[in-house]
């Protein structure tokens, strides 16, 4: 589809150049179709994808045609000199129309380019801050959040580290596609249960870190308990087999944000203990 679209764009490009050249040869270079050619040299660069190297050749051809067309008006050459009186009568009008069309096209494309550039930047920002499978924040973004929290000397928070139980077994039994669906289900459930100011991070693999600012231990237990209850209701199927999802969570509450790494380490130790002692639980 993309190849045929590029072909249509290229055809239209040369059609406009040829039409402009013939029009100027008829009018003796007085109708300003040179503006079309100059405009199209810029347009073709935007419309064709960056990997299409032919666009540079097309631009060179367009530039040569623009120089050639400019010579027509200099030497006042025309295929039909008998039409010059009529041409000169409408010269200003046609010139103005062609100039307006060219300027409008360039204005439209420049704004289209800016929109595309802004969209690309937003995608890059999203990609750099989020895990692409789950849509949760990544560790890089989390480190930035905690750095800012340190500067603001934020106090009283909870951190939880959770791990999907028997995730390797799920992958080995049902395949990685099902494993990815499980991670997506866990992440969506996390987002639906956390307070609006909380930060959920895919820490790596099947591990997640939850940062709950201004949340004490009792409140954190309520939030995480609600999350586990909702997660148990999630229905992930491989063919006709229901894949159950449980998680083990280590929870730690602190009052000194500058020591958040230590609290995460403690939460990780509690998670490890929970894994060794039955799984599917919150260790506080």
221 and 143 belong to one structural domain: yes
pLDDT at 189: 96
pLDDT at 207: 96
pLDDT at 212: 94
pLDDT at 249: 97
- Angstrom distance (rounded) from CA 200 to CA 187: 8
Closest CA to 271 of 259, 261, 262, 279: 279
- Angstrom distance (rounded) from CA 170 to CA 124: 32
- Angstrom distance (rounded) from CA 255 to CA 247: 26
Asked if residues 243 and 277 have their Cβ atoms less than 8 Å apart, the reply is: no
- Angstrom distance (rounded) from CA 147 to CA 162: 22
Collapsed DSSP state (helix, strand, coil) of residue 169: helix
106 is in which domain, residue-wise? 2-128
For each of the chain's 284 residues, which pLDDT tens digit applies?
567 888 888 888 888 889 888 888 888 888 888 888 888 888 888 888 877 888 889 989 989 988 988 888 787 788 888 888 888 888 888 888 888 888 888 788 788 878 888 888 888 888 889 999 999 999 999 988 888 777 766 678 999 999 999 999 999 999 999 999 999 999 999 999 999 999 999 999 999 999 999 899 999 999 999 999 999 888 889 888 999 999 999 999 988 888 889 999 999 999 999 999 999 999 98
119 and 214 belong to one structural domain: no
| Tally of CB atoms within 10 A around 28 | 21
187 and 108 belong to one structural domain: no
Q: H or E segment at 157?
A: strand 157-164
The answer to whether residue 257 sits within a structural domain is yes
For residue 174 the two structure tokens come to 């049902």
What distances in angstroms separate CA 134 from CA 140, 170, 180, one per listed residue? Answer: 15, 17, 8
Active site residues: 206
pLDDT at 53: 82
Residue 223, C-beta contacts closer than 8 angstroms, at least 6 positions apart: 193, 194, 195, 198, 212, 215
The answer to whether residue 250 sits within a structural domain is yes
- Angstrom distance (rounded) from CA 254 to CA 22: 79
20 and 115 belong to one structural domain: yes
Asked if residues 220 and 245 have their Cβ atoms less than 8 Å apart, the reply is: no
DSSP secondary structure, 229-281, as one string? HHHHT--EEETTEEE---EEEEEEEES-GGGHHHHHHHHHHHHHHHHHTTSSS
pLDDT at 191: 95
The answer to whether residue 198 sits within a structural domain is yes
pLDDT at 103: 85
Q: What is the pTM of this model?
A: 0.66
49 and 161 belong to one structural domain: no
CB-based burial, 155-190: b 16+ in 10 Å, e otherwise: eebbbbbbbbbbbeebbeebeeebbebbbebbbbbb
The answer to whether residue 133 sits within a structural domain is no
pLDDT at 192: 94
The answer to whether residue 134 sits within a structural domain is no
What distances in angstroms separate CA 269 from CA 168, 200, 256, one per listed residue? Answer: 20, 19, 19
What are φ and ψ of residue 25, in 5° steps?
-65, -30
pLDDT at 142: 92
Q: How many domains does the chain have?
A: 2
């Amino acid at each position: 589809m993309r190849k045929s679209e590029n072909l249509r764009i290229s055809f239209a490009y040369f059609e406009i150049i040829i039409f402009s050249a013939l029009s100027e040869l008829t009018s003796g270079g007085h109708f300003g179709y040179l503006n079309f050619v100059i405009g199209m040299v810029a347009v073709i660069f935007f419309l064709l994808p960056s990997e299409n190297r032919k666009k540079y050749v097309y631009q060179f051809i367009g530039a040569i045609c623009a120089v050639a067309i400019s010579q027509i008006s200099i030497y006042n050459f025309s295929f039909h000199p008998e039409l010059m009186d009529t041409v000169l009568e409408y010269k200003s009008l046609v010139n103005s129309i062609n100039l307006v069309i060219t300027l409008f096209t360039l204005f439209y494309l420049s704004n289209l380019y800016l929109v595309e550039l802004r969209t690309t930047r937003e995608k890059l920002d999203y990609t750099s801050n989020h895990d692409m499978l789950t849509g949760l924040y990544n560790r890089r973004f989390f480190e930035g959040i905690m750095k800012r929290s340190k500067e603001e000397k934020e106090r009283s928070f909870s951190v939880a580290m959770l791990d999907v139980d028997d995730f390797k077994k799920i992958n080995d039994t049902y395949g990685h596609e099902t494993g990815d669906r499980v991670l997506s289900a866990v992440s969506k459930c996390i987002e639906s249960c956390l307070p609006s100011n909380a930060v959920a991070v895919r820490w790596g693999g099947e591990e997640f870190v939850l940062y709950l600012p201004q949340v004490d231990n009792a409140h954190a237990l309520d939030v995480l308990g609600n999350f586990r209850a909702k997660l148990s209701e999630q229905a992930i199927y491989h063919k006709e087999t229901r894949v159950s999802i449980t998680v083990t969570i280590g929870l730690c509450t602190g009052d000194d944000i500058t020591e958040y790494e230590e609290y995460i380490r403690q939460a990780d130790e509690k998670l490890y203990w929970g894994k060794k002692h039955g799984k599917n639980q919150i260790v506080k």
